[in-house]
A and B are shown apart, each in its own frame.
Chain A
Amino acid sequence: MARVVDVKEAGQEIRRRLGEVLVLPESVVEPVLVALLAKGHVLIEGIPGTGKTLLARTIAKLVGLEFKRIQFTNDLMPSDILGSSVWRPGREEFDFVKGPLFTNVVLADEINRTSPRTLSCLLEAMENGHVSVEGNPVTLADPFFVLATRNPIEFHGTYPVPEAALDRFLVRVTMTYPAADGELRLYLGRDPEAVLAETAPVITADALRGLMEGAHRARVSEPVARYAYQVVAATREDEAIALGLSPRAALAWLRAARARAFLDGRDYVLPDDLKALAGPALAHRLVLKGGGDAGALLERVLKSVPVEL
């Protein structure tokens, strides 16, 4: 029980220090923390320059993890992220030089600029926690946490990311310009880089591993499960939706909700958890008939499903 109290405090401390470095709305911070705890990955959408890299770096530092950034381009090869075997003339043997993927926190920038081949390599790493190098599985770091960014679809030189790939991300958040007062605070405040340099980790990587173990233990009671099902079923019946939510999507949603409950110091899930995470965890898994974003539609679905007391 003591650890449950710990996680709440740790979560708040992380939020506080994150707030010192950069101004982010709760709708971004919470899903990211939830994904971290639930061993999921985050897809960040938004315009450049809103602090995506800084967010990833700060998070890595606050939980005592190693951080690396990979800029995806159309000529990036799988070996560029995995690493490659290098001939060591002195020792007369191949030596595997690990790529940037071998770290705890990876910021995969602009993933829709790269070829499907490289992307699938990243996705494999995200899905399994290990990668194949020359036929041999190589285990990645633990924890392994990917924050990927994607440019809006209208941008030049982008490949579409397939639905199945999007499904790999536990949550998707959208970063926009900060609110006026937040942005003003940013201008007036100290240089974020300097603040980040001074910031000390809130918890150690080992402690984080411990918390991640506890994050999926929160209990899902029957009414909560029923509520989740009703929402999922409603998306399958909605006329504007081409493809409703799959059972896997629902499971991912519940996993995120468990982590959120855990983060809130509870060992049971509330419908509130599901509601709060419906947008981040579900919107990117819905395929609409006319294309476009499913956020508003999800909002509507949530408005139509009663919460049973």
Chain B
Amino acid sequence: MSSGGEGMRRALRACMISLVLASLLFVRTTEAARWLWLGPLFGLTLASPWLLRLARFVSVRLLWNLSVLGTFALLVRHVTYAGVAFLLEDGLLLAALCQVHLVNNLSDAQKPDLLFFNSFLIAVVTSFLSLDLGYSLVLLVYAPLLVVSMQLLALSRAGVEGTPSLVPAIVRSGLVRSAGVLALTLALFLVVPRDFGRRGLLGETLGLKAPGALEVAFSDRIDLEQSGQVTQSSRIVMTARSSDGSAPPLYWRGAALDVFDGQGWRAARGVHQDAAWCGGRGLWTRTLPSAGRTMDVYLVDPDAPRLFTPLDARRLELRSPDVDAAPQPDGNFRRILTGQRRPVRYTVEMAKPATPGGRRDPAGVGVHIALDARAVPQEAYDLRHELKRGIAPGAPQHVVAERFRSAIAARFPYLVPGASGGARSLAEFLRGGAGAHCEYFATALAVTLRLEGIPCRVVTGYRSDETNAQDGLLTVRAQHAHAWVEVLDPEAGWMTLDATPAGAGGAVQARGFLDSVRQTAERIWAAVAGFNTEARETLFAWFGALPGRIARSPGDAALFSVALALVVVAGRLRRRRREEPHGRAYRKALRRLKLELGPTETPRELLARARRTAYPAEGLRELEVATAVHEQARYVG
């Protein structure tokens, strides 16, 4: 065998090993397997060139097969006691093991096909479990690797004895090809119509939930230890506009939660906490002084379980027919969901901001300071002690509450829900280091305040400052879902207190260039992973509006023309490098004339040939012109 053939085989083998490494990385991104498991697999894969050499010893083969069987048995055992929940994870680990087994055992003839399929399967399965940036990076490595491997395999199967320069050429062409395929894939991914809400046969029978379906949205309870992927959705939940053009309030309440059980918050049952709502049939009021301004609310989300209201609401009137709601003890309105899913319009009249002695809690403060000692982690006590330091004893309640709030906001880092590295329990959060989202901040504040004896509750709803400067329209999106704290002030009644760091509604501020790159990449990948009907419509609308925008805005127009010019220049450069344009025009003429230029034939020779074969005069003239034009362009000047 020539050295060229050997080079090709070596390149193919290197690609196989890299594919297995990519598969292992895929598994790693899901965090389904610990390093304890994956580490040896990585090692075995990297060592496979040496292991293959050892494989001719029977004892080594025996040992290998026994250990594969042993690992398999361990996995089966794990499934039996860990339950079906871990089936997918264990399956993945098994697939990874198979990959390593394949690369170490099978011959070159049968190995590649199985490796390709198995690696693709792993990519698919891991896509269900892992949606973060890491997955996308591995995918970006995996796709070109797969294409290059397939090309190498095709060549080596064709029996090609390559020259030394062949392998780099194949790798180059594979990279270009995979980039093209990936770009086309992404473009089609954005435009192909499909049912984003499809549950599928298995989904319906087993109640599976699609990955990425869990989005940040309002919830009428808080479960701190809930984990998994959550996406930020820009789906619009509601809009609100003030009757007098002033900016609508930022906080829109959905539920007030009083009972903390260590893992989360839920509503206390049967305790009226607020001035009660009176009325019915679409109109409710409570006895508070009017502020004279009204909000027109349009609740777009047809499935919203609540009618969201600001804290200072005194009158609510439903504008949509066939809709009903029920006031809750916590002062909020539960929507009575009928079969018809449709948006709801209602108006809310605002009360004067809390006036001293205005709203009293009818049920006393007991329920607002109650804490189950078993539910409170030690870290909460420590935190309270620390926060109390520096506050003069006997300071007014609102001063203490505000100091606690600002201290907590400054002390813990904010992370968007579902971000990797976030805290998974209140204790972990309070220890510091791991950041978390608003629910943790609200919980931390509420628990420390209650330890201090200050009555408070956690409220969930939406907080949006997306107010249009021109018409004062407030837009509330799913990603604006929020949790905060309300403190019962003995003087002023319920006061809003938000411990979540300012500006945390969206992303945290990027620190440095790399961070911002990472954040941008994460945002793009989140947009891909969480792509849905609405995102597609937004995209289409954006593209549809592009011409108009370009026409209207000189800045955009300039940007667009610069981009267009760059594309044109790049195309020109590319063409010049290939020196093809004249050739292309000439070949086009040949195609039209149904003539074929031999590989070593010059245009003049072809012309002479055409003359000899009595080619029709008209075509001949055209050929003459094409030849002359080509000559002028190619050889003159």
Is there a direct interface between A and B, measured as CB atoms under 8 Å apart in the complex? yes
| A interface residues, Cβ below 8 angstroms from B | 219, 221-224, 267-272, 275, 302-309
Q: In the complex where A272-B605, A309-B582, A309-B586 touch, is A304 in contact with B634 (Cβ < 8 A)?
A: no
Give the size category of B's interface with A. Answer: 20 to 34
Interchain CB contact under 8 A, A270 and B604: yes
Residues on B with beta carbons closer than 8 Å to the beta carbon of A221? 634-636
Residues on B with beta carbons closer than 8 Å to the beta carbon of A223? 579, 634-635
Q: In the complex where A223-B579, A309-B586 touch, is A270 in contact with B631 (Cβ < 8 A)?
A: yes
Q: How far is the CB of B468 from the nearest CB of chain A, in Å?
A: 59
Interface-located stretch among B190-198, B517-525, B594-602: B594-602
Q: How far is the CB of A231 from the nearest CB of chain B, in Å?
A: 10
Interchain CB contact under 8 A, A224 and B635: yes
Interchain CB contact under 8 A, A308 and B579: yes
The CA-CA distance from A141 to B250 in the complex, in Å, is: 104
Q: How far is the CB of B593 from the nearest CB of chain A, in Å?
A: 15
The CA-CA distance from A275 to B605 in the complex, in Å, is: 10
Residues on B with beta carbons closer than 8 Å to the beta carbon of A275? 602, 605
For A305, the closest partner residue in chain B by CB is B600
Interchain CB contact under 8 A, B583 and A308: yes
Q: In the complex where A221-B634, A223-B635, A272-B605 touch, is A306 in contact with B583 (Cβ < 8 A)?
A: no
Interface CB pairs A-B, < 8 A, 21: A222-B579, A223-B579, A223-B634, A223-B635, A267-B636, A269-B635, A270-B602, A272-B602, A272-B604, A302-B600, A306-B599, A307-B600, A308-B579, A309-B580, A309-B582, A309-B583, A309-B586, A309-B597, A309-B603, A309-B630, A309-B634
Interchain CB contact under 8 A, B602 and A268: no
- B235, CB-defined interface residue at 8 Å: no
Residues on B with beta carbons closer than 8 Å to the beta carbon of A269? 635
Query: Interface of chain A, helix or strand or loop or mixed?
Result: mixed
The CA-CA distance from A275 to B634 in the complex, in Å, is: 17
The CA-CA distance from A33 to B635 in the complex, in Å, is: 23
Residues on B with beta carbons closer than 8 Å to the beta carbon of A219? 635-637
The CA-CA distance from A308 to B601 in the complex, in Å, is: 9
Given contacts A219-B635, A223-B635, A302-B600, 14 further A-B contacts (CB under 8 A): A219-B637, A224-B635, A268-B631, A268-B635, A268-B636, A270-B631, A275-B605, A303-B600, A304-B600, A306-B599, A307-B599, A307-B600, A308-B583, A309-B580
The CA-CA distance from A271 to B597 in the complex, in Å, is: 14
For B631, the closest partner residue in chain A by CB is A270
For A220, the closest partner residue in chain B by CB is B635
Residues on A with beta carbons closer than 8 Å to the beta carbon of B431? none
Q: How far is the CB of B606 from the nearest CB of chain A, in Å?
A: 10
- B384, CB-defined interface residue at 8 Å: no
Residues on B with beta carbons closer than 8 Å to the beta carbon of A305? 600
Residues on A with beta carbons closer than 8 Å to the beta carbon of B579? 222-223, 308
Q: How far is the CB of A265 from the nearest CB of chain B, in Å?
A: 13
Q: How far is the CB of A201 from the nearest CB of chain B, in Å?
A: 31
Residues on A with beta carbons closer than 8 Å to the beta carbon of B111? none
Residues on A with beta carbons closer than 8 Å to the beta carbon of B605? 272, 275
Question: Considering residues B582, B600, B630, which has the most beta carbons from chain A within 10 angstroms of its beta carbon?
Answer: B600
Q: How far is the CB of A74 from the nearest CB of chain B, in Å?
A: 45
Q: How far is the CB of A96 from the nearest CB of chain B, in Å?
A: 49
- B536, CB-defined interface residue at 8 Å: no
Residues on A with beta carbons closer than 8 Å to the beta carbon of B604? 270, 272
Residues on B with beta carbons closer than 8 Å to the beta carbon of A304? 600
The CA-CA distance from A269 to B635 in the complex, in Å, is: 7
Interchain CB contact under 8 A, B601 and A307: yes
Contact string against A for B residues 527-556, beta-carbon threshold 8 Å, 1 for contact and 0 otherwise: 000000000000000000000000000000
The CA-CA distance from A275 to B608 in the complex, in Å, is: 14
Q: How far is the CB of B635 from the nearest CB of chain A, in Å?
A: 5
Residues on A with beta carbons closer than 8 Å to the beta carbon of B599? 306-307
Q: How far is the CB of A41 from the nearest CB of chain B, in Å?
A: 28
Contact string against A for B residues 604-616, beta-carbon threshold 8 Å, 1 for contact and 0 otherwise: 1100000000000
Residues on A with beta carbons closer than 8 Å to the beta carbon of B636? 219, 221, 267-268
The CA-CA distance from A219 to B605 in the complex, in Å, is: 20
